[in-house]
Amino acid sequence: MAPSGSGLSAATPVTRDHIDVVQINGLIDPIEADFLRRSTSAAAAGGAVALVVQLSSGGGVVSQRRIDTLTSAIAAAPVPVAIWVGPNGSRAHGAAYAIWRAAPLRGVAPGTRIGRAPSPDPLAGRSIPAPEALATGVATISAPTLGDFVVSLDGQSVGGRILHTAEVVRTNGQPRRQPTVDTRFKKVGLLQQLLHTAASPSVAYLLLVIGLLLVALEFFTAGVGIAAFCGVGCLMLASYGLGVLPFRAYALVLIGVGVFGFCVDLQAGVPRVWTGLGSVALIVGTLRLYNGVHLSPLAVVAGVVGTALFMVAGMPAMVRARFSTPTVGRQSMIGETGVALAGIAPEGVVQVRGAPWRARTNRATPITEGDRVRVIAIDGLLLEVEPETGGAREVHS
């Protein structure tokens, strides 16, 4: 330890300025809209010098009033808001474009597109690439990566405030700019992320189909409830997603009718008319489910083809495995005893070796439920039985 009065003092850590970064992907839904609005206030409260938004969205599923409120909050934010459409291949259409235009600092990656705005915007109904956006002055910054965009903010003026986000350094004798601010990424909570994912058109549709199929599986296999529990969970998430998305009610009914049609023929044991009707209903319901947003082709194929394969091939196999009775060595069952699970007059069901079997009595005398029986012959999968007491074997013994 240094002696008192030696003149040594602890070094004071130098704190750097920081920027908040949030990522907005997919359709702008209530969760994303509220998160972005809160982020503008949180950036100021946390001492950030700017809020940077990485945007990639094909539109929104919130009301125009909410979009107007959000764009007003961005324009009047206490810290500068800079929105970058990226990375390459991203887009900002519809509501996302309106949010992007509201920011005082707007950037694009080279391979992005913007537009499809509502009237009377000059880009109403059309989309333009990044070079055209820069040439017309709609976008002000071109940056291939988020890091380049942060560096490009250096020297930009917003409301009389000049941003300082980079400095020039020399590397191998060549000047380059490097950021002088820390980057702090902000994300929504886990539950909000789950709900936002469920509000994706393809995810909501697949959750709906999977939920219906799992409930059907539980019904036909009479399991311990795991399939039903998972199915109800999928249906709950799908309900939230459909509640956010613009869906057609009749298309939703058709999807339910489609799964029901497959179930009817599954109960019958052979794919027939109902399988065809169910397929048509499922296809029409899938293609017409949404109004204004679209399913991905992969989701359409997975939903329709996957349902057909599961109901026509997968489910029958699982049902047979669940309820099948042993067939190997069944001739050895002659002479075995069991109990009648239902009245046999002349046919019914008996339990032999712990498994249910179809059975018929070889005598005119009916056998009532609960009576003990003895197997005297086997015809395919049908057992011929007689009462355990008073039967032919006992009489002739």
Give the model's pLDDT for residue 135: 95
**Per residue in 13-47, is it b (16+ CB within 10 Å) or e — as a string?**
eeeeebbbbbebebbbbbbbbebbbebbebbeeee
Q: Are residues 258 and 341 in the same domain?
A: no
Using 50, 70 and 90 to split pLDDT, how confident is the model at 150? Answer: very high
Q: Are residues 181 and 195 in the same domain?
A: no
Q: Are residues 301 and 240 in the same domain?
A: yes
Residue 1 is assigned to a structural domain of this protein:
no
Please write the tens of the pLDDT for every residue from 167-208: 888 777 788 888 999 999 999 999 999 999 999 999 999 999
Q: Is the distance from CB of 174 to CB of 8 less than 8 angstroms?
A: no
Give the model's pLDDT for residue 125: 85
> Is residue 10 predicted with pLDDT exceeding 60?
no
Residue 4 is assigned to a structural domain of this protein:
no
* Residue 348's CATH number: 2.40.50.140
Q: Are residues 31 and 173 in the same domain?
A: yes
Q: Are residues 304 and 196 in the same domain?
A: yes
Residue 2 is assigned to a structural domain of this protein:
no
Which residues face 141 on adjacent strands? 107
Q: Is the distance from CB of 207 to CB of 234 less than 8 angstroms?
A: yes
Q: Is the distance from CB of 253 to CB of 234 less than 8 angstroms?
A: no
The residue from 323, 354, 388 where one domain ends is: 323
Stretch 258-286: mean pLDDT, rounded?
90
Of these ranges, 15-29, 116-130, 214-228, 314-328, the one predicted with the greatest mean pLDDT is: 15-29
Using 50, 70 and 90 to split pLDDT, how confident is the model at 226? Answer: confident
Q: Which residue stretches of 82-123 are H helix?
A: 95-102
Residue 371 is assigned to a structural domain of this protein:
yes
* Residue 165's CATH number: 3.90.226.10
Q: Are residues 238 and 347 in the same domain?
A: no
Residue 6 is assigned to a structural domain of this protein:
no
- Side-chain-side CA neighbours of 96 within 13 Å: the count stands at 29
- Spatial separation of the C-alpha atoms in residues 376 and 296, rounded to whole Å: 61
Q: Are residues 124 and 251 in the same domain?
A: no
Q: Are residues 178 and 196 in the same domain?
A: no
Residue 5 is assigned to a structural domain of this protein:
no
Range of the domain at 111: 18-186
Q: Are residues 155 and 25 in the same domain?
A: yes
Residue 196 is assigned to a structural domain of this protein:
yes
List the structure tokens of 219.
């019904």
Domain count, the chain: 3
Q: Are residues 210 and 294 in the same domain?
A: yes
> Is residue 9 predicted with pLDDT exceeding 70?
no
Q: Are residues 205 and 166 in the same domain?
A: no
Please write the tens of the pLDDT for every residue from 284-333: 999 999 998 999 999 999 999 999 999 988 887 777 666 555 555 566 78
The residue from 295, 323, 351 where one domain ends is: 323
Q: Are residues 291 and 233 in the same domain?
A: yes
Residue 346 is assigned to a structural domain of this protein:
yes
